[in-house]
A and B are shown apart, each in its own frame.
Chain A
Amino acid sequence: MAALAFPLLSFALSFYISEKYSWITSVLASFLLLLGALASAVVLYQAWNHPPFNYSLEWFSLGGYAFSAGLHIHNVSALMLFIVTGVSFLVHLYSVGYMAGDGGIRRYFAMLGFFTFAMQGIVVSGNLLMTFVFWELVGFSSYMLIGHWHEIPAAAEASKRAFIINRVGDAGFLVGLMIVWAHGHSFDIVVLQQLPVDPTWMTLASLGIFCGVVGKSAQFPLFTWLPDAMVGPTPVSALIHAATMVAAGVFLLARVHFLFTVPTLHVVAVVGCTTALLGAVSALAQHDIKKILAYSTLSQLGLMVVALGAGSPQAALLHLFTHAFFKACLFLAAGAVIHTLHQAQHQSHVHFDVQDIRNLGGLQKKLPFTFLIFVIGGSALAGLPFTSGFLSKDAILTALVQWKGEGFSWKLLILVIVALVSFLTVVYTFRMIWKIFKGTETATAQLHISEPPAVMRAPMAVLAGVSLWIWFSWNPFDFSGWMYLNIGEVKPFHSGIVSIASAVWVMLALGVAYATRQATFGSPALLNAFYFDRLLKQFVEKPILQLAALTHHADKKWIDGFLHATAYAQLIVAHLTGWFDRAIVDGLVDGVAGAAKGLGSFTRSFQGGKIQLYIFWATFGIIIFIIWTLL
């Protein structure tokens, strides 16, 4: 519990510290998150390889059904809790440097703490209803953070967009929850696990829940908010992409994997595959550093979802965990580049878009540390051997090889696409690194650039460190290390051939990346993610707008007329009740008050401090008493 309490405390305190001392907020928030991370490390230590810890208490009851809220902590959630809090702490620490001097620093840290708290809630919740509540809180806090610089129209736009697209998915999630409730009369995950499965309804319910995941984890077709969300502060992007928000979808999918039927899993695999391919291809054509990373996240999330669809939550979770580290690392490194260039620009009054990699180049000499971090993170993203990314990608590929089975089916196509995606990942990652750090300096040549402060370098170094293989498995070519074996029951199917093939494949991709390092993939279709936005606009937005116009008309004519009539009726009734109120009710109240006042002043007159009056009343009382007793 304590692990959850600290980020919430950070959220609350950040609002109470005055504007003048806003620097305290940043230090205090980071410190609280450190405590939170330590607390979750304790949780991890205690829960690791122990029987799942269940705690449930009745929340409220409605119509005879009791709704409970509870915690469910087992290996996966304890590990996830630790990773979320840990990455969040590093992001907090990094933000101290990155956001220094920002006007809304208190709001920023408050929402960062709240975001972490909400994500932790999803992770430890043992109850789908509670998950849903925290799910919405994550959506809300991401809205606040993406729109942190709300004076920029694009940021306000993007935050609204992220929020609304998430709502679309959440509607499906809610429907799924309703179906689950109608069948099981419980939201408790432990209870649901023992539920007899009705195939048709379970398919519908799991499709509904998958809708929520599609929204939150930015899968096809609800992915457009994620690249747009890049207008938010870079540490926020790191948090959204690595530990919270998009990870929530995949985590939930792994959590309720038992609810998913075979047809749903096929849908899941196809959607994930589409997203992975779309993201990878689009990432090739982007110019904006953060957009490249955003599309790469899309494709990595797609890979996780494919693994889930292939029935291997273990592989998906392993990739989720490794991805959390190397993607946070990459974002923080990209943030460091942006931050230092902004600072340099500020000093020399030169202006160009620092996020555009066409303006960058040759920064290796000026930013050697950031370059190193970028290379490590990028290698992990690309899945080079000796990195965590290699292990988890290997796990996914192995799971897919096992899933497709013998024979020739559409599943083979998915395997091929996933292999292609991992190839493309290498290409776009190293193309980006090349463009930023190698080659000749163009726009940045005259700028005086220095490395970011230590408070930003430390989190980057830590994250780059945990992007190496050693934390996940001792053997750099065998993904079934301690983590993989302990996050699921299924014994791994490990094939050395897959590992070697994947290593060779990645090396080949590296060669291609080097060969095409100067090429630009400048297709406008790729740049705009196949105009998916415009497609949505054409085929979804226009009919909806027409429908809206129609309903608007009906609304004006009929509903408004009816409303006006009722409004008049209400007005008349209101006048009547007003008169009644004034004359009768108020009169009654005033009368009672007046009576009390009169009685009060009457009795007060006995106590006026006039001695002779006291004597008079005493005598009067005695006379009355005597008359009473004698007669």
Chain B
Amino acid sequence: MNVPVHHFLYLGAFLFSAGLVVVISKRNTILVLLGLELMLNASNLNLVAFNRLHPGTLQGQMFAIFVIVVAVCEAAVGLAIVLRIYQEYQTSVPDDVNELNL
């Protein structure tokens, strides 16, 4: 099965845009983190897809795995922050945490 590269790119762009929309529009911080994951996975998809243009190399896949590892760390740290914020302010909506803004 030989799917052309641009199909993967379309899917990646769609996923990235969907992630961006989620990041920008969702009020809940957890959903924002979810959106971020979506965007990271879209970029992973792009990396893997572009690697098909260079058969015999694995840099794209390596990068994708690297990104997944970093994303796990990021998700862990981000969720921890969300948890602390919730304990502190009884909310997980970033707009309500405006102490530094006042």
Contact = CB atoms under 8 A, between A and B. Distances in A.
Interface stretch (A337-345, A363-371, A419-427, A606-614): A606-614
B24 A612 contact: yes
Chain A CB within 10 A, most for which of B23, B25, B100: B23
Interface in A588-622: 608-612, 615-616, 619
B101 A608 contact: yes
A615 B24 contact: yes
B100 A609 contact: yes
A609 B32 CA distance: 16
Interface of A: 608-612, 615-616, 619
Contacts of A616: 24
Contacts of B95: 609-612
Interface in B44-76: none
13 contacts: A608-B101, A609-B95, A609-B98, A609-B100, A609-B101, A611-B94, A612-B23, A612-B24, A612-B32, A612-B95, A616-B24, A619-B20, A619-B24
Nearest to A611: B94
A349 B95 CA distance: 88
A615 B23 CA distance: 8
A517 B24 CA distance: 117
Contacts of B32: 612
A59 B23 CA distance: 74
B88 to A, nearest CB: 16
Interface in B1-42: 20, 23-25, 32
A410 B98 CA distance: 105
Interface of B: 20, 23-25, 32, 94-95, 98, 100-101
B18 to A, nearest CB: 13
A615 B25 CA distance: 10
A610 B32 CA distance: 13
A608 B95 CA distance: 9
A612 B94 contact: yes
Given A609-B101, A611-B94, A612-B95, 17 more contacts: A608-B101, A609-B95, A609-B98, A609-B100, A610-B94, A610-B95, A611-B95, A612-B23, A612-B24, A612-B25, A612-B32, A612-B94, A615-B23, A615-B24, A616-B24, A619-B20, A619-B24
A533 B100 CA distance: 85
Contacts of B23: 612, 615
Contacts of B25: 612
Report the 7 A-B pairs with minimum CB-CB distance, sorted nearest first: A609-B101, A616-B24, A611-B94, A609-B98, A612-B24, A610-B95, A615-B24
Nearest to B20: A619
Nearest to B25: A612
Contacts of B24: 612, 615-616, 619
A618 to B, nearest CB: 10
Nearest to A613: B24
A529 B25 CA distance: 105
Contacts of A608: 101
Contacts of A609: 95, 98, 100-101
A619 B16 CA distance: 12
A601 to B, nearest CB: 16
Contacts of A619: 20, 24
A496 B95 CA distance: 112
Contacts of B101: 608-609
Contacts of B94: 610-612
Chain B CB within 10 A, most for which of A608, A610, A612, A619: A612
A619 B39 CA distance: 13
A611 B98 CA distance: 10
B97 to A, nearest CB: 9
A612 B23 CA distance: 7
B96 to A, nearest CB: 10
A616 B21 CA distance: 9
Contacts of A615: 23-24
A612 B95 CA distance: 8
A246 B101 CA distance: 75
A327 to B, nearest CB: 78
B43 to A, nearest CB: 14
A84 to B, nearest CB: 69
A609 B23 CA distance: 16
A624 to B, nearest CB: 15
Nearest to A620: B24
A527 B101 CA distance: 90
A619 B94 CA distance: 18
Chain B CB within 10 A, most for which of A609, A610, A619: A609
A443 to B, nearest CB: 85
Contacts of B20: 619
Nearest to A619: B20
A610 to B, nearest CB: 5
A610 B98 CA distance: 8
A603 to B, nearest CB: 15
Nearest to A609: B101
B29 to A, nearest CB: 9
Contacts of A611: 94-95
Nearest to B29: A611
A612 B28 CA distance: 11
